[in-house]
Structure 1
Amino acid sequence: MTAPHDAAVREIAPDVLAAFESAKGFMPVDEGLALHAAAVRAAGLGLPLVEVGTYCGRSTILLAEVARAAGVLAVTVDHHRGSEEQQPGWEYHDPELVDPVVGRMDTLPTFRRTLHAAGLEEHVLALVGRSPQAAAAWGRPVGLVFVDGGHTDEHAGGDYEGWAPHLAEGGLLVVHDVFPDPADGGQAPYRVYRRALDSGAFAEEEAAGCRSLRVLRRTGPGL
């Protein structure tokens, strides 16, 4: 899948794009630009843009830049203790992110430095805690939900179940790390993507996706 990334590049200030590229994280530039382009469209609803799975704020920069330009709020949700694959002994573990006092992962300080360096702190509401709890306490429609948190069925499914019902009609559900072939990656985000389509409440915007990033528009009830 491809998207009109050149247009997205023109909309991102060079310093913001540089901040994205230099931030800790795993999202490649092309998928980041597809996320940014989706956020630009979703921001037209005048509603908050929600990200589930902050990590160190790499993709948050893109949503915050859109929020600043559109006059909406970017909301990012994470417990900041790292997902399963980021724990000691796993593939994506970064020992620099371990709190030496408590001996556990803590990405919150790095996230705050990331937003500060990008000059975007005032455009982001950071919710520190578990995604289902945050979703249960949330009380208004949103224009975008970006699912990029834990990659187990429990966590990815919980993110979808908690936040997708808050999406306004016409809002966008963006799911990262969607791999139809199990040889390419874990299947939980793919199952969330399929679940959304099978619900009848979403239609895929195929031209808006990029590789493992899928973009779906909420077209009606059914969740």
Structure 2
Amino acid sequence: MAAAPEPAVLKAFEAAKGFMPLDEGLALYAAAVDAARLGLPLLEVGTYCGRSTLLLADAARAAGTTAVTVDHHRGSEEQQPGWDYHDPETVDPELGVMDTLPAFRRTLYRAGLEEHVIALVGRSPRIAALWRSPLALVFIDGGHTDEHASADYEGWAPRLAEGGLLVIHDVFPDPADEFTGQAPYRIWLRALASGAFTEVSATGSLRVLRRTEAGSRGRR
């Protein structure tokens, strides 16, 4: 049986703001535990309020490595005012714009996981352009436009070490099931077509793929 998050972490996950159901969260955690055996950082694109970050941080803590999470904290397209997924509590009352960073920091603090996470605040492509270290896991859960999803894939997938895991959230093959387009589905197809990845598992809309040796050799 796969390892489970610490009970306190699981409780914090269920209490935190976010859109990931429990079964997908447990699949993400299992992938993080698997990848963390490489002894390299686990990276997430799309922090929001830290719901999934808790799972990566718990796996990183157990393995003696670090979780890294990347977000500008101004919300993705579907989280803006007027959209179905907008949460008024995430709006800065002074500036009138979304700011999920305070909620994220509270989430980590309450779970006792702050020291196991490095939070990078900024645009994913700009941070990826500066990143040079290999990664054990890349979890793509950011913007749902083709522009943003493709940039996340192109910026971070090449950083995966051999045997590392690429995890993509909100993969919906049927357009009727999706809420903001099928960009995550298209980057999943692109990863499989590249020959650099083989699929490990599928849970709900969460897909886990492993970087192959041949793919690692072809990294740029």
How far apart are the structure 2 equivalents of 1:55 and 1:82? 7
Greater relative contact order, per chain length (Cα 8 Å cut-off, separation 6+):
1
Q: Please report the TM-score for the alignment, with normalisation by the length of structure 2.
A: 0.95
| Equivalent position amino acid for 1:145 in 2 | V
Residue of structure 1 in register with 2:130 after alignment: 137
Task: Select 1:40's aligned residue among 33, 36, 45.
Answer: 33
Query: Does 2:72 correspond to 1:79?
Result: yes
Deviation at 1:58, TM superposition (A): 0.1
Deviation at 1:209, TM superposition (A): 2.3
Query: Does 2:191 correspond to 1:191?
Result: no
How far apart are the structure 2 equivalents of 1:69 and 1:13? 10
Query: Does 2:214 correspond to 1:218?
Result: no
**Is the partner of 2:198 in helix, strand or coil?**
strand
% same residue: 76
Say whether the 8 Å CA contact 1:64–1:123 is kept in structure 2. yes
| Equivalent position amino acid for 2:152 in 1 | D
Residue of structure 1 in register with 2:173 after alignment: 180
Deviation at 1:119, TM superposition (A): 0.2
Residue of structure 2 in register with 1:154 after alignment: 147
How far apart are the structure 1 equivalents of 2:30 and 2:52? 12
Deviations 1:185-209 (A, max 9, x none): 131000010000111110111xx32
Residue of structure 2 in register with 1:18 after alignment: 11
| Equivalent position amino acid for 1:61 in 2 | L
How far apart are the structure 2 equivalents of 1:140 and 1:72? 13
**Is the partner of 1:8 in helix, strand or coil?**
coil
Deviation at 1:8, TM superposition (A): 3.4
Say whether the 8 Å CA contact 1:175–1:213 is kept in structure 2. yes
How far apart are the structure 1 equivalents of 2:3 and 2:166? 18
Residue of structure 2 in register with 1:95 after alignment: 88
How far apart are the structure 2 equivalents of 1:181 and 1:174? 19
| Equivalent position amino acid for 1:69 in 2 | A
Query: Does 2:108 correspond to 1:115?
Result: yes
Deviation at 1:13, TM superposition (A): 1.3
Deviations 1:132-153 (A, max 9, x none): 0111111100000000000000
How far apart are the structure 1 equivalents of 2:157 and 2:177? 26
Deviations 1:164-223 (A, max 9, x none): 010001000000000111011131000010000111110111xx3211100000003345
Residue of structure 2 in register with 1:70 after alignment: 63
Query: Does 2:190 correspond to 1:204?
Result: no
